[in-house]
Amino acid sequence: MHWPRLLSQRRFPDQQLPPTSAAPGRGAFVQDYDRVVFSSAFRRLQRKTQVMPLPETDFVHTRLTHSLETAVVGRSLGRLAARHLLENDAELAQLLPNLDQDCGDIVAAACLAHDIGNPPFGHSGEDAISSYFLSATAAPYLAQLTPAEIADLQHFEGNAAGFRILTHTYAAHSTGTAGLGLTYATLGAFTKYPRPSLVADAARRNGASEKKYGHFQTENSRFQHVAAELGLLPKDAAAGFYHRHPLAFLVEAADDLCYRIIDFEDGLKLGLIAPETGLPLLKKMLNDPADRIGSVQWHDWREELGYIRARLIGKLVAETATLFARHAPAILRGEYDQPLIKELSCWVDLQEVQRLSINQLYRSRPVLEIEAAGFEVLGGLLDAFLCAVFDASQGHRSRKLLLLLPEQFRAEGHQAGVSAYEKILLLTDFVAGMTDQNALSLYKTIKGIELPKGF
């Protein structure tokens, strides 16, 4: 793979047209960032769970604040890593003098969008949708689908839903085909898992890019366009299975650092992880000289926590950028496919942070109770609306439920000959795109548990 091609400023889906000229000081990748910020899908992240579902406190992270912080970390990672590349390669520095700025902007935009397809109710949202389609209740709706289409639904993936949001325009909205119209470079960096849901075992190599999948069957051809424009190396071209865009490693690292350390910080502030356990662990990872640690007298451990977290992330960003530069030649040859954070000097301590977060935060009673409710809510919504869509008699209840669907999610009017798979995926778009509160409110309404406010 080659950097000039990997940094394509052409906008999806136009491969033949030259890149559009950008205003001075506001390049194509900065525009990508802005387009994500102003999208309705990004705005909905403010009411989607990161860890603590339906939080009552104002300092707990939502998907929105997590995405913003990941984008900040990603920008620093991209710029520092590319600066190392430029310092070590005079030829590259002459060819791409703005590589550091471009890489920072691309990684920031991709990080900003990295959770844009995640469903309500935190990490369990994907499991809730998958579980519904694995149930006997859903089996009749899947009867006409191909194995690959079934795999999309039974292993629902927020990353694939995100790629669909970024590249898909609903027929009810317009005749456009660009989604958010992002550059190919940003779409490539966004795609941490450049493979479909169903891949032959012979093609798999068990790398980091193969842990999940990155697009649904409906977006196969779109991802092929992205891979061709960027010159991604194929693992199995016939199966649509590729090596990652190099900058996807930095997007992954930014997300890993933020969710591990900042989720841990939330657990401490919520009182679910004891400060006498958490603070020493973070200090150990920071490995500060004794004189630096003792230079400030802290009167509030929460303020000390914020200080340690900020400096720790800065340290790990610098170390990760160096690792990326070291592995960049192998990444470009498709010979490296591991998470960068596994090579950090404090990897063992990061694993302990993750263990504590799982046992004391992710498995805390409030999280488990509301996530369990999320299974009922998301499964209940999918079942009710799928029953209405596939109701051949179109009874009164089915007609009323379909009228509750926004027009873009109805397989009618603007779309002729829509397959069963596409009908199901439209409903999945609807449910996955909802906020926690919106999903819960609609579920209560259609089940007759609670009438809408004002009645």
The 10s digit of each residue's pLDDT in 151-168 is 999 999 999 999 999 999
> In tens digits, what is the pLDDT along the chain, a chain of 455 residues?
999 999 999 998 876 656 665 666 778 999 999 999 999 999 999 888 777 665 555 567 888 999 999 999 999 999 999 999 999 999 999 999 999 999 999 999 999 999 999 999 877 899 999 999 999 999 999 999 999 999 999 999 999 999 999 999 887 777 777 789 999 999 999 999 999 998 866 566 678 999 999 999 999 999 999 999 999 999 887 778 899 999 999 999 999 999 999 999 989 988 889 999 999 999 999 987 654 555 678 888 888 899 999 999 999 999 999 999 999 999 999 999 999 999 999 999 999 999 999 998 888 887 888 788 889 999 999 999 999 999 877 788 888 888 888 888 887 644 557 889 999 999 999 999 999 889 999 999 988 887 777 65
- pLDDT at residue 202 in the model: 57
- pLDDT at residue 291 in the model: 47
Question: Distance between CA atoms of 377 and 95, rounded to whole angstroms?
Answer: 53
- pLDDT at residue 55 in the model: 55
319 is written with which tokens?
A: 């170390």
Q: Give CA angle at 228 (239, 341), nearest 5°.
A: 75
Question: Distance between CA atoms of 26 and 29, rounded to whole angstroms?
Answer: 8
Inter-CA distances, 168 with 19, 88, 179, 330, 359, Å: 20, 39, 4, 33, 38
User: The dihedral of CA 194, 197, 203, 209: what is its sign?
Assistant: positive
- pLDDT at residue 18 in the model: 62
Residue 78 and residue 250 in contact, taking contact as beta carbons nearer than 8 Å: yes
Residue 49 dihedral angles phi and psi, to the nearest 5°:
-70, 140
The 10s digit of each residue's pLDDT in 216-232 is 999 999 999 999 999 99
251 is written with which tokens?
A: 């997007």
71 is written with which tokens?
A: 């984008």
- pLDDT at residue 413 in the model: 46
Question: Residue with structure tokens 């990326």?
Answer: 324
The 10s digit of each residue's pLDDT in 347-375 is 999 999 999 999 988 888 878 887 888 89
- pLDDT at residue 414 in the model: 45
Question: Distance between CA atoms of 264 and 350, rounded to whole angstroms?
Answer: 10
Question: Distance between CA atoms of 248 and 190, rounded to whole angstroms?
Answer: 6
Which residues contact residue 91 at a Cβ distance below 8 angstroms, ignoring those fewer than 6 apart?
A: none
**Residue 263 burial (C-beta neighbours within 10 Å; 0-12, 13-18, 19+):** buried
The 10s digit of each residue's pLDDT in 297-328 is 888 888 889 999 999 999 999 999 999 999 99
Residue 406: asked if its preceding bond is cis (omega within 30°), the reply is: no
The 10s digit of each residue's pLDDT in 176-230 is 777 899 999 999 999 999 999 988 665 666 789 999 999 999 999 999 999 999 9
Question: Residue with structure tokens 């469903």?
Answer: 119
Beta pairing partners, 11: 183
- pLDDT at residue 48 in the model: 81
- pLDDT at residue 170 in the model: 81
Question: Distance between CA atoms of 283 and 272, rounded to whole angstroms?
Answer: 19
